[in-house]
């Protein structure tokens, strides 16, 4: 691992590291915020998954999360959103290819060689973080938009691994919206039965853990009706008695202005669960 950035923030350290990701067959950047409490011993970890077009930089420079992480004594790990590099397959559109990994394991050419983001986030990255940083194995996960989709899917598919899950304006039913239909067709192929493994709404029926879900959604989000559809997820969660809190935030859009307004609530939500682990 090579540290490529380090900044003091809220008494802790905001770092960015580069490493070779075996599961992705490329080098990856990952941002790690270590609160002041990490100087005295291992701290729990929140994983934050970003949305389309983002890198590890968007969250650490725009969300204002460091002060809240320091307040609660939690680390935050924010990986990049996809494999990167000149040898990595890409697409001219913003919603496919580099910057649009969708946190799944691709099975179709040319994507399958590198786009194994599900394995990277669930297995390789936590093992790396826990081996190299003063953190415990108490984990939680959250994300925004495409990253909210990733956080919900990963939490639902891995019962017992995460102590809390939350999302900002997540893509909750990707099989039913244009972003997901395009990505899933490209990465997974046309067989829709293969898509269900990466669709949070579809996963609710067989979920064996009732981990409470917190979702914040802006009412003025341009993507609310066409791509996000949180009501679809809430209705399915209610059918299966899965606890979910959807907070509609009047006037807020899809941007980091929205995330920064409520990131404190989410970190407190995660910290409470992690401290009780």
Active site residue 72: no
The CB-side HSE value for 75 (13 A sphere, CA atoms) comes to 28
Cα–Cα dist 152/167, whole Å: 8
H or E, element range at 77: strand 75-79
Active site residue 145: yes
* Region for residue 268 given its phi and psi (left: phi exceeds 0; alpha: psi -120 to 50; beta: otherwise): alpha
In eight-state DSSP terms, residue 241 is T
Cα–Cα dist 227/189, whole Å: 20
User: CA 39, 40, 43 angle in degrees (round to 5)?
Assistant: 85
The catalytic residue among 221, 242, 266, 269 is: 221
Q: How confident is the model over 78-105, as pLDDT tens digits?
A: 999 999 999 999 999 999 999 999 999 9
| Per-residue pLDDT at 171 | 98
Q: Is the pLDDT of residue 277 over 70?
A: no
Q: How confident is the model over 8-49, as pLDDT tens digits?
A: 999 999 999 999 999 999 999 999 999 999 999 999 999 999
Q: How confident is the model over 111-163, as pLDDT tens digits?
A: 999 999 999 999 999 999 999 999 999 999 999 999 999 999 999 999 999 99
Mean pLDDT of 236-247: 98
Cα–Cα dist 273/266, whole Å: 11
Is the pTM higher than 0.95? yes
Q: What is the mean pLDDT of the chain?
A: 97
Q: How confident is the model over 188-232, as pLDDT tens digits?
A: 999 999 999 999 999 999 999 999 999 999 999 999 999 999 999
Active site residue 219: no
Q: Which of 128, 124, 169 has its CA nearest to residue 147? A: 169
With a pLDDT cut of 90, the percent of the chain lying above it is: 99
Compute the radius of gyration of the chain from its Cα atoms.
17
* Region for residue 234 given its phi and psi (left: phi exceeds 0; alpha: psi -120 to 50; beta: otherwise): alpha
The catalytic residue among 145, 149, 266, 269 is: 145
Q: Which of 277, 233, 260, 245 has its CA nearest to residue 66? A: 260
| Per-residue pLDDT at 276 | 77
User: Tokens for 92?
Assistant: 């001219």
Contacts 24+ apart (CB under 8 A), 133-137: 133/32, 133/34, 133/38, 133/75, 134/34, 134/38, 134/39, 134/41, 134/42, 134/43, 135/38, 135/42, 135/43, 135/44, 135/45, 135/75, 136/42, 136/43, 136/44, 136/45
Say if CB 84 and CB 90 are below 8 A apart: no
The catalytic residue among 72, 114, 144, 254 is: 254
| Per-residue pLDDT at 100 | 98
2-275: in CATH 3.30.450.40: no
């Amino acid at each position: 691992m090579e540290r490529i950035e380090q900044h003091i923030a809220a008494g802790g350290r905001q770092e960015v590291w580069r490493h070779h990701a075996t599961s992705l067959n490329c080098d990856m950047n990952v941002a790690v915020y270590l609160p002041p409490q990490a100087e005295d011993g291992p701290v729990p970890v929140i994983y934050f998954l970003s949305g389309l077009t983002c890198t590890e930089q968007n969250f650490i420079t725009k969300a204002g999360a460091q002060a809240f992480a320091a307040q609660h004594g939690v680390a935050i790990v924010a990986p990049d959103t996809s494999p990167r590099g000149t040898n990595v397959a890409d697409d001219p559109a913003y919603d496919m290819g580099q910057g649009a990994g969708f946190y799944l394991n691709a099975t179709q050419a040319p994507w399958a060689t590198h786009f194994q983001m599900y394995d990277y986030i669930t297995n390789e990255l936590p093992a790396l973080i826990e081996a190299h940083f003063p953190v415990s194995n108490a984990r939680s996960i959250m994300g925004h938009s495409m990253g909210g989709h990733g956080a919900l899917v990963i939490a639902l598919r891995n019962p017992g691994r995460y102590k809390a899950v939350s999302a900002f304006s997540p893509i909750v039913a990707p099989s039913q919206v244009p972003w997901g239909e395009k990505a899933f067709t490209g990465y997974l192929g046309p067989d829709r039965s293969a898509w269900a493994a990466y669709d949070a709404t579809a996963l609710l029926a067989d979920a064996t853990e009732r981990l409470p879900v917190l979702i914040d959604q802006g009412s003025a989000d341009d993507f609310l009706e066409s791509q996000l559809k949180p009501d679809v997820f809430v209705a399915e969660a209610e059918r299966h008695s899965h606890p979910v809190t959807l907070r509609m935030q009047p006037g807020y859009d899809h941007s980091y202005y929205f995330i920064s307004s409520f990131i404190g609530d989410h970190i407190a939500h995660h910290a409470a669960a992690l401290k009780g682990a």
